[in-house]
């Protein structure tokens, strides 16, 4: 009879409906990875940390009043970026906003301040990149940084990516 009791105990220990009773490692459900474990996909954590330290500016706190002059440029930026961000239901189809803008001019005329003001007005994360932070002498490192930058911007959307001195990254075309 003791033999039957022992087998009955073993059978009862694995009975369904009793939480944690007789669970073994082979029958346990596999633990799923949460999105919090890897918020940027398969991006190297060291690259993410370097971008967060050198490029990321979560709250630039620059308003339109901080940018002096450039009234016509500010008006155009408000119409092409701020309004579509505030009312995306109106700007569809032919009225869809542009996906990017190019600010050009000599140093010191307010390009960075305008970009920071856009990020503040849209309540966006601001990524301020320069050519020196996006390039590397090692093969493939620049591509890793760009991939990580855009993965972070996607995760922290809405985001404004400001690439300063982009002309030094690009090569001249033609001969």
Q: What residues contact residue 127 under an 8 Å CB cut-off, 6+ apart?
A: 51, 55, 56, 57, 149, 152, 153, 159, 160, 161, 162
pLDDT score recorded for residue 25: 37
pLDDT score recorded for residue 10: 42
User: Is residue 164 within a helix (H) or strand (E), and if so which, with residue range?
Assistant: strand 159-164
> CA–CA separation, 149 vs 40, rounded Å?
10
Q: Give 42-167's CATH code, choosing from 3.40.50.800, 3.40.50.1820, 3.10.20.30, 3.40.50.300.
A: 3.40.50.300
The domain spans of the chain are 42-167
pLDDT score recorded for residue 16: 42
Which residues on neighbouring strands pair with residue 116, listed in sequence order? none
**CB 64 within 8 Å of CB 117:** yes
pLDDT score recorded for residue 88: 86
Q: What is the pLDDT of residues 126-160, one digit of tens each?
A: 999 887 877 777 787 888 888 888 898 888 888 88
pLDDT score recorded for residue 175: 55
Q: What residues contact residue 52 under an 8 Å CB cut-off, 6+ apart?
A: 152
Q: Provide DSSP, 106-122.
A: STTSSHHHHHHHHHHHT
Q: Which residues of the chain have pLDDT under 70?
A: 1-39, 171, 174-175
For the chain, how are helix, strand and coil distributed in percent, rounded to 5? Answer: 45, 10, 50
């Amino acid at each position: 009879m003791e033999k039957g009791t022992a087998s009955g105990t073993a059978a009862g220990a694995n009975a369904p409906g009793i939480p944690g009773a007789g669970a073994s490692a082979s029958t346990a459900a596999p633990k799923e990875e949460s999105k919090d474990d890897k918020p940027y996909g398969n991006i190297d954590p060291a690259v993410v940390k370097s971008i967060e330290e050198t490029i990321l500016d979560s709250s630039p706190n620059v308003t339109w009043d901080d940018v002096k002059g450039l009234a016509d440029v500010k008006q155009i930026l408000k119409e092409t970026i701020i309004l579509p961000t505030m009312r995306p239901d109106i700007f569809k189809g032919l009225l869809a906003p542009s996906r990017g803008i190019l600010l050009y001019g000599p140093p010191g005329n307010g390009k960075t301040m305008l970009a920071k003001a856009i990020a503040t007005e849209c309540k966006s994360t601001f990524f301020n990149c320069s050519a020196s932070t996006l390039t590397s002498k090692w093969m493939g490192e620049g591509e890793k940084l760009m991939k990580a930058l855009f993965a972070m911007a996607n995760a922290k959307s809405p985001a404004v990516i400001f690439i300063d001195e982009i002309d030094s990254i690009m090569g001249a075309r033609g001969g």
